[in-house]
Chains A and B, each alone.
Chain A
Amino acid sequence: MICWFPRLTAFLIVAPILMGFVGTLLPAFGYLPAIGGTTLTLAPWGALFATPGLDAAMFLSLWIGTATTLFTFTLVIFFSASWSGTRLGGAITRFLSPLVSVPPVAMAAGIAFLLGPSGWIFRALSPWATGFTAPPDFLLPQDRWGFSMIGGLMVKEVPFLFLMTLAAVGQEETKRAFQVGRSLGYGRMIAWIKIVLPAIYPQIRWPLYALLAYSASVVDVAMILGPTTPPPLSALVTRWFFDPDLSLRFVAAAAALLQSILVLSLILVWYAGERMVALFAGAWLRRGGRGAGGAIAAALAAGGMMAAIAVAVFGAGAMILWSVSTTWRFPNLTPTKLTLGNWAAGGAMLGNAIANTVLVAGASTSIALLLAIGLLEHAARRGGASSRGLAFFIYLPLLVPQIGFLFGIQMLLIRLGFDGTWVALLWTHLLYVLPYVILALAGPYRRLDPRYAQIALSLGASQARALWRIKLPILLRPVLVAAALGFSVSAGQYLPTLFAGAGRISTLITESVGLATSGDRRLLGVATVWQLVLPLLAFTIAAFIPAIVFRHRRALRPL
């Protein structure tokens, strides 16, 4: 039975993406009978390239994707290089880990308020330091170069990449090689960059590509923090898809394909960059330079990490305050009047969305967990030979821009009469939950001593019994952590909910994007706090269950 899991999963993942692409490809060449498109034509492309500001929108997508990835990568590498294994490094790691679970929109909402001219930072400095009695007219957060968007994405992505790096570095050979490097007279940072980085890069390459694809095509964060005149291409495409002028649907489909091409080119360019670096790095490594101290880089890296944590903490804090404030005007640092009324109003307004969020996240995570365990068990029994197959499942959905195929999926769902149904919603969420569940579970699963299962078999237990009675209980903690991560990923899905839910099924994130772009910050505060609380709750439960179940099992308690 286990041998069916790869095939089943392949179908569940590949089928919608493939069909979604076809459903986008046809309208991009003028075929959409419902609105009179019955012949294949290049007209949509002509219209697309005649759009004023298209070049700027494309540039923004490429720039934000590249800059976010490059900055994130640099920060994570320099921080890991200079602080891994130190006490400060450990402290920052503990603060950073929970940030992975925060939905990007919640983060973006907090950051928008922190950075804005009437936001917390300016309030803290006004009027005593800045002299502003009214908010200054600075283009923040939606600055033209997208720096606030890049920063907002980084707060979310730095923890992700850092944890991926940490997992890669955790392997024993890497640690020993690093120690050998140090003993050869290389400083901490230079030893890390020359010895550890080349060893672990293959393992963080795919997360980097995923990051590149995500940040070049994200829509929800762009709507809150991104530039608006023009917005990045992905936001423009979304706008066109929902424009009342129906003929724009063709242009939108063409632009969605263009977006996919951009992302693909970005990844190819990054790959070429890798090869170039590899070419020249060899000589650099052989030269044997021990490098200068790198104290400044180390300080900057630590500062960058702490800034990311501070932004997240203060952003969340501001949203919590907004959720209980009646009136909070510039330049007051705290609300002048507090109330719980927003929570009552928000509860009435969001109750349904919260229930939906929990349901979708719970159900899609359960399915993803089942598939992931099936896949990993299959790989384990095949002797780890199919780890390349695993990577395929993990990264295919993460490398394909959502906007590139969701419109096509919507068309398909409607044709099947599936749109706005739970099946459709769960399926599209599964595309994004499964990769993270596999990602979180693969390491612990692979590290689990295979001899436990061998012993169980030699004692007469069947494969299934060995899995359910021995392997999964020992892996209870990582299984629950993977589930909590899957839950938080599902809770953060904006476009899939928008398209597959057909508006009928709204979740916290669709409500939050609406609130974030249209005003009432007090209700946005309530929605954001809910968005923070749900994943936090999931991770708390994931931590508590093993702590209770294993309270008498020292080997399975965290150190």
Chain B
Amino acid sequence: MSGPGLVLRKLTLAIDDHVLLRNFELAIAPGRIVTVMGPSGCGKSSLLAAITGVLEPAFRFSGDILINGRTISQLPPERRRVGILFQDDLLFPHLSVGDNLAFAIPPDRRGVVRRTLVQDALADAQLGGLADRDPASLSGGQRARISLMRTLLSQPEALLLDEPFNKLDAVLRQQFRSFVFERAGRLGIPTLLVTHDREDAPAGEPILVWPDPGPGQIDVR
């Protein structure tokens, strides 16, 4: 069970004596989107934290996480290349829209290239010309799109979505949902969505109800 995409192998996650997941297995091929559903507080966010590498020390965790055959579970968060979107856009409030985007671009891109990348990302999100704006002056939908573009600019090899549509109203929610799925699919990024709302899941993709602590196994390659 290795190869391209995001692979979780024999993942066990526990806090104190409470086991959240035991020997959990999951594989997501590039461009595919797997939805994990479960009630709030079940540990979905902790699973994502384990993948991004920011799990609090109180949790115990074992198993392997691989991206495109590369084991990342021992890497520090900044070298995992796992992008994440939360239900809040979390644009850095002290930076302009353009600087928020530029912050995400890997340092090996320099000068004009960086600026072009920022311009392109803004144009792609139909927000051209807003580079110098204060994030706080943007609408919720605009902020959400910037947030996604920021994540994509960091060239992630996997994308995690932590109820990212939750705070948007019904119309925006539909728009942003397809915006996200379309780009994740186009860029061929394996995507893991956690939500408590079945409506969020993309059509035709697998939905996994939050597994009991017992072993779950899903392969969507």
Contacts and interface: CB of A to CB of B under 8 A. Distances in A.
Nearest to B81: A460
A454 B96 CA distance: 19
B78 A463 contact: yes
A454 B49 CA distance: 9
A461 B57 CA distance: 21
A515 interface: no
A382 B57 contact: yes
Nearest to A466: B78
Contact of B90 (A455, A462, A473): A455
A446 interface: no
Given A383-B58, A385-B57, A552-B134, A458 B92 contact: no
Nearest to A549: B94
Contact of B57 (A383, A458, A550): A383
Contacts of B176: none
Contacts of B76: 457, 462-463
Given A458-B154, A553-B134, A451 B78 contact: no
Contacts of B150: 459
B83 interface: yes
Contacts, number: 86
B202 interface: no
A555 B96 CA distance: 12
A476 B82 CA distance: 28
Interface string A53-92: 0000000000000000000000000000000000000000
Contact of B58 (A385, A554, A555): A385
Given A382-B57, A457-B52, A555 B81 contact: no
A455 B104 CA distance: 10
A543 interface: no
Interface string A531-559: 00000000000000000011011111000
Interface string A170-208: 000000000000000000000000000000000000000
Given A458-B77, A459-B104, A463-B78, A451 B88 contact: yes
Contact of A460 (B56, B84, B93, B104): B104
B116 interface: no
A469 interface: yes
Given A385-B58, A456-B103, A458-B154, A470 B81 contact: no
Contact of B53 (A450, A457, A466, A473): A457
A460 B154 contact: yes
A456 B134 CA distance: 18
Contacts of B218: none
Nearest to B55: A383
Given A385-B58, A454-B77, A454-B84, A459 B52 contact: no
A310 B135 CA distance: 43
A453 B84 CA distance: 12
Given A457-B53, A457-B78, A458-B84, A553 B58 contact: no
Contact of B93 (A451, A455, A549, A553): A553
A476 B83 contact: no
Contacts of B181: none
A460 B93 CA distance: 19
Q: Which of A449, A463, A549, A552 has the most CB of B within 10 A?
A: A552
A257 to B, nearest CB: 41
Q: Which of A456, A457, A458, A476 has the most CB of B within 10 A?
A: A458
B136 interface: yes
Nearest to A457: B77
Contact of B94 (A383, A453, A454, A476): A476
Contacts of B78: 457-458, 460-463, 466
B54 interface: yes
A6 B86 CA distance: 32
A314 to B, nearest CB: 41
A335 B92 CA distance: 55
Nearest to B107: A460
A458 B57 CA distance: 18
A441 to B, nearest CB: 17
B106 interface: yes
Interface string B89-116: 0101110100000011010000000000
Contacts of A476: 94
B53 A449 contact: no
Contacts of A456: 92, 103
B103 A461 contact: yes
Given A474-B94, A552-B134, A553-B94, A458 B83 contact: yes
Contacts of A474: 92-94
Q: Which of B79, B94, B135, B136 has the most CB of A within 10 A?
A: B94
B104 A473 contact: no
A-B interface, 6 closest residue pairs, ranked by CB to CB distance from nearest: A383-B56, A554-B136, A555-B93, A457-B77, A555-B136, A459-B154
Given A385-B58, A450-B54, A550-B94, 13 more contacts: A383-B56, A383-B58, A451-B86, A452-B90, A454-B54, A457-B77, A459-B151, A460-B78, A460-B79, A463-B76, A552-B96, A554-B136, A556-B94
14 contacts: A383-B56, A383-B58, A385-B57, A453-B54, A458-B52, A459-B151, A460-B104, A461-B103, A462-B78, A463-B78, A466-B78, A476-B94, A553-B94, A556-B93
